[in-house]
Amino acid sequence: MITKFLGRVFSGRMFKSAKPRIIPVAEHGISRERIGSCALRTCDALQEAGYSAFVVGGAVRDLILGRTPKDFDVATNATPEEVRGIFRRSRIIGRRFRIVHVLCGRDLVEVTTFRGPADVTDTSHQVEDEHGRLLRDNVWGDQSQDAARRDFTINALFYDPAREEVWDYHGGVADLKSKKLRIIGDPEQRYREDPVRMLRAARFAASCGLEMDAATRKPVKALAPLLANVPAARLFDEMLKLLLCGHAAECVKRLRKEGLHHGLLPMLDVILEQPMGERFVMLALKNTDTRIRTGKTISPAFLFAALLWHEVLAAWKKHQARGMPPVPALHEAMDGVLDQQTEQLAIPRRYSSDMKELWIMQPRFEQRAGQRPYRLLEQPRFRAAYDFLLLRCESGEVEKSLGDWWTSFQDADADARATMLVADSAPAKKRRKRRRRKPADAAPAAE
C-alpha cells in the first residue's frame, strides 16, 4: 500500500496537470516560415489525422535565441505505431526510448510520443538500474506530463506551427531571457535517471551563454561518478555534440569547472596541467569553433587527435627512453593511449584509424631531404596532417620555421622545391662513409 502511494506521489498522479503559458507570435517572433519543411509537413499530417503535433525542444529554444536550428524534432500524442501508419517513409527505432524517424527526401524528422510518469512498482514499461538510471522508458502520457519529463526548462517548449504559438509549461522563455539554466524537478533524481543530463547542462550553459542556478549545479560534482555507468558509445555521442556545438573551448572549461571531464577524457586533466598541452588543446578547440561558425566542415578524428596528442607524445618519449626505436615506440604509444581512452569513451574505429594516420605523419614532416617530402605530399590525408603541424607550431611545440617551410614547399614549383631541398638539407646532411672493399688477396681478419 505504501509503495503504491509513493508511486503515485513521485509519478505525479496525485497532482493536476500543469497549464502552459501560451505565447503568441507577436511576443516570441517565430513565424511558420522559419520551421523546416519536413517538420511542417509532419506536424500538418499528424494534425490532419486528428492528433496533436508540436515542434519541440532545442529547435524552439534556438529560434527564440535568434539562431538557425540544426534539426527539428516533433512531439505528438500519437503512439509510434500510429505515427508509422500515417507516414509511408518512416521507421520505428530505439529500445530505451521508442521513436519514429520520418523521412522527407534527404531530410529526417524525429517524432516522439508524449511521455508520462510510471508507477514505481510497474516494470513492464520502465526499467532502472541500481543507481536509478532509466534503462527503458516507454510510458505514454499527455503534453504537460511530457513537458515535466524533459530535462531543462529551456527545452520544455512546444511550438504549434498551425497557430504559431509557443506553449511554455515551466518558464523556459523567461529563463532564456534571464540567462538561467534550470533543471525540471528534483536535480539529484533527474541526474540519477540519466547522468548524461549533467553533460548536457555544461553544454547548454556554454553554448547558450547561461548560468546554472544553484539547485541545478549543487549535486553535479557528487554525482559525476555516475557517468561511469553510462554506455561508452552514448558518452561518445554526447561528447561529439559538445565538441561540435561551436562553443567547444567554453564547454571544456565548463566540464573542468564542474568536475565532469574525468569520465570522458581522463587524460585531459593531465594534458591541461601542462602549459604547452593546454595551449595546444585550446588552440585546437578555438579553431574548431571558428570553422563551425563560418560553415566549414569539421573532422571529429582531427579534434580527438588534437585532444590526445600530448598524451601520445609523452608515451612516445617514454618508450624511446627505454631504448625502443622511434617508429615502433610511436605505434606503441598510440595503441596504449587509444586503449585507455576507449574504456571511458568508445571512439569508433573509423575515427581512431584516421587519428593514427595524423599522428604517424607528424615525425615525417621533419624529413625534408631527398624524395621523402614529395611522397608525403602525395598522402591522401596530407592537408589534415599539415593543419595539425601548424597547430603544433602555433602552440610552441615545434619551431615555426618547420611549418613555414612546408607552407612554401607545397605551393612552390618543381625548380623551387629542388632548391629548397638542397638549401634545407645540405648543411645538416650526414653522408655515410663508404666501406672500402678489401683486396681479394687480403688476409682474413682474426675472429
Least confident of 87-91, 199-203, 243-247, 272-276: 272-276
* CA neighbours closer than 13 Å in the CB half-sphere of residue 80: 16
Q: How confident is the model at residue 269 (pLDDT cuts 50, 70, 90)?
A: low
The pTM of the whole model exceeds 0.85: no
Provide the pLDDT for residue 116: 87
Residue 228 has pLDDT above 90, yes or no: no
Looking at residue 340, what is its pLDDT?
82
Domain boundaries, the chain: 1-178, 293-425
Band of residue 117 on the pLDDT scale cut at 50, 70, 90: confident
- pLDDT at position 223 is 92
On the question of pLDDT at 306 being above 70, the answer is: yes
CATH of domain 293-425: 1.10.3090.10
pLDDT for 118 equals 57
Task: Provide the 10 A C-beta neighbour count for residue 108.
Answer: 14
Strands 99-104 and 53-56: unpaired
φ, ψ of residue 310 in degrees (nearest 5): -70, -25
- Rounded Cα distance between 359 and 306, Å, is 9
Query: What confidence tens digit (pLDDT) does each residue in 125-142 have?
Result: 445 554 444 444 568 899
Q: Is the pLDDT of residue 225 over 70?
A: yes
Using the structure block, give the residue that is written with the C-alpha cell 588534437. Answer: 306
Question: How much is the pLDDT for 8?
Answer: 41
Catalytic residue (choose from 119, 137, 151, 354)? 151
Please state which of the ranges 23-37, 395-409, 433-447 shows the lowest mean pLDDT. Answer: 433-447
Lowest mean per-residue pLDDT among 3-12, 60-69, 180-189: 3-12
User: What's the mean pLDDT in 29-45?
Assistant: 95
Please tell me the predicted confidence (pLDDT) of residue 396: 92
Active-site residue identified among 71, 107, 335, 424 = 71
DSSP string, 167-195: EESS-HHHHHHTTEE-BSS-HHHHHHH-T
pLDDT at 7 over 60: no
Mean pLDDT of 301-325: 93
Q: What is the CA radius of gyration of the chain?
A: 28
What pLDDT score does 328 carry? 95
Rounded CA separation 47/49 (Å): 5
Greater confidence, 212 or 121?
A: 212
Q: What architecture does CATH give domain 1-178? A: 2-Layer Sandwich (3.30)
The answer to whether 134 and 194 have CB atoms below 8 angstroms apart is yes
The model's confidence at residue 278, banded by pLDDT at 50, 70 and 90, is confident
The H helix count followed by the E strand count for the chain is 22, 12
- Concatenating the DSSP letter of every residue in 246-290 gives S-HHHHHHHHHHHT-GGGT-TTHHHHHTSHHHHHHHHHHHHHHHH
Mean pLDDT (the chain, rounded): 85
The question of whether 73 is a catalytic residue gets the answer: yes
What does the pLDDT read at residue 231?
A: 86
Residue of 73, 137, 289, 354 marked catalytic: 73
* Predicted local distance difference test score (pLDDT) of residue 267: 55
Least confident range of 11-20, 377-386, 433-442: 433-442
Tell me how far apart the alpha carbons of residues 240 and 254 are, in angstroms, rounded to a whole number: 15
Per-residue confidence band for 274, with pLDDT thresholds at 50, 70 and 90: low
